[in-house]
Structure 1
Amino acid sequence: MASQQETETSQFDHTPLYCEENVYRLCKKLSSTGVADTEASDLFVVFISNDKKQIPLWHQKASHRADGVILWDYHVICIQKKENEKPPLVWDLDSTLPFPSPLASYVAETFRPSFPLFSEFRRFYRIVHAPIFFRCFASDRRHMKDSDGNWNAQPPPYDPIIAEDGTVHNLNEYMEIRSVDAVPIIEADLVNAVKNEQLGVVVNEKQIEEFFTLPT
């Protein structure tokens, strides 16, 4: 199946340092081209960050190191979980790993859970259902401007994303991820919460794979 095969990242829009918009458009295209469900019901947008906004990720194209490690303030990926198919797939346009990658191998290679980290570098994950993300997410890119209004990085050529209700910017609500917001345990009703809450749910690193074993 197409979703099980490695895909060329060049088929998708990508603007460096605008990962949230890249993933928004990636999910739209996966849905429109039949790789994902037409309603995007099998797609989840995952924001990765922590209290200190310091998260190490490996195999990132922006890294200047041989192992591809880089320290992001936050990152955004897409995880696809089809009801009757395994494994879940990770779509990360900024990764040097196969595109897409099975979730288990992506976690092992990108997060390296066995690598000892100080507490301020531990990652947390906000899982948002793509159909809700399409309706509710907005970014006018203000986070990419300095105090004088100049761009810190060249913005995408297309218009900023506006939510269905007219909201022009709420990216900060998605990228603000605190350890205290992480759910204590993974339960079946978390899927319902993700499918009904604008900001989804926050899980810790030990829970990210477990969440995607739940029936969706």
Structure 2
Amino acid sequence: MTTSTMDVFRFHHTPFYCEENVYLLCKKLCSDGIANAEGSDLFVVFISNERKQAYIKKGGIPPLVWDLDSSLPFPSPLPSYVSETIRPSFQLFSDYNRLFRVVHAPIFLRCFASDRRHMKDSGGNWIEEPPQHEPIVAEDGAVHNLNEYINISVADAITDVTTSSVKDAIFTEKHGVVIKENQLEKLVCQLSSLE
């Protein structure tokens, strides 16, 4: 992949439906030949914490970040993206420290499901209007497993991203691995060197 800026409007985006947007982005990158046909050169990253309230400033080729919600160039080189959106030097209260769930895109595309129940209030009314496309159903027939991806705990975070078991888990586990923010660039660079 190159670092040239692309038109973000080529890609489907429904506000407030980030996970579905990422799912469709991966599919389009594969179908358009920007990524490998099966998505083996893509990784999906969920950013959250135990409070599900992560602060993010919206705002060799290094790995690229394809963030439809960012105001940065699309795609952005990983170091610029981390510096401008993650902002590791920005001090947060410990309750808001970000964790990252890294999932290999081919696994995510097979296993992720969302029937959008998380976007309805207790009366069954939409909190935000849903996308026009059908809800995403996993290959195994699961209709909703979003919480399995966004429920992230410090206790789940691995301590050493350099071990082969971490790389094995990313390429085989449905939910990938959870890492701390200071490990993100190192892990992504290691994964990029495997391609």
Deviation at 1:129, TM superposition (A): 0.4
User: What TM-score results when the alignment is normalised by the length of structure 2?
Assistant: 0.95
2:87 — aligned with what?
A: 112
The answer to whether residue 22 in structure 2 is matched with residue 23 in structure 1 is yes
SS at match of 1:213: helix
**In structure 2, the residue corresponding to 1:135 is in which secondary structure?**
helix
CA displacement 1:148-185 (0-9 Å, x = unmatched): 00000000000000000100000000010111100011
Q: Does 1:200 align with 2:176?
A: yes
Alpha-carbon deviation of 1:121? 1.2
Q: How does 1:45-124 map to 2 (within 5 A)?
A: 45-60=44-59, 85-124=60-99
Q: Distance in 2 between matches of 1:93 and 1:194?
A: 23
Name 1:187's counterpart in structure 2.
Answer: 162
Q: What SS does the corresponding residue of 2:100 show, helix, strand or coil?
A: strand
SS of structure 1 residue aligned to 2:182: coil
Structure 1 counterpart of 2:113, which letter? A
The structure with higher relative contact order (CA 8 Å, sep 6+) is 2
Partners of 2:52 and 2:150 within 8 A in 1: no
- How many residues align? The count is 191
Q: Aligned with 2:55: secondary structure?
A: strand
CA offsets 1:75-109 (integer angstroms, 9 cap, x no match): xxxxxxxxxx4200000000000000000110000
- Identity between Structure 1 and Structure 2 (%): 58
Kindly indicate whether residue 124 of structure 2 is the aligned counterpart of residue 149 of structure 1.
yes
Which residue type is aligned with residue 200 of structure 1?
G
Structure 1 residue 39, shift from structure 2 partner: 1.1
Q: Which structure 2 segments of 5+ residues have no match?
A: none
> TM-score, structure 1 length as denominator?
0.86
Equivalent residue for 1:159, pick from 134, 151, 161: 134
More helix, by proportion:
2
For the aligned residue pairs, the C-alpha RMSD in angstroms reads 1.0
Q: Give the deviation of 1:188 after TM superposition.
A: 3.9
Q: Note the C-alpha offset of 1:59.
A: 2.3
Tell me which residue corresponds to 1:68.
none
Shift of 1:36: 0.5
Corresponding residue number in structure 1 for 2:115: 140
CA distance in 1, matches of 2:28, 2:189: 25
Runs of 4+ in 1 over 3 A off after TM superposition: none
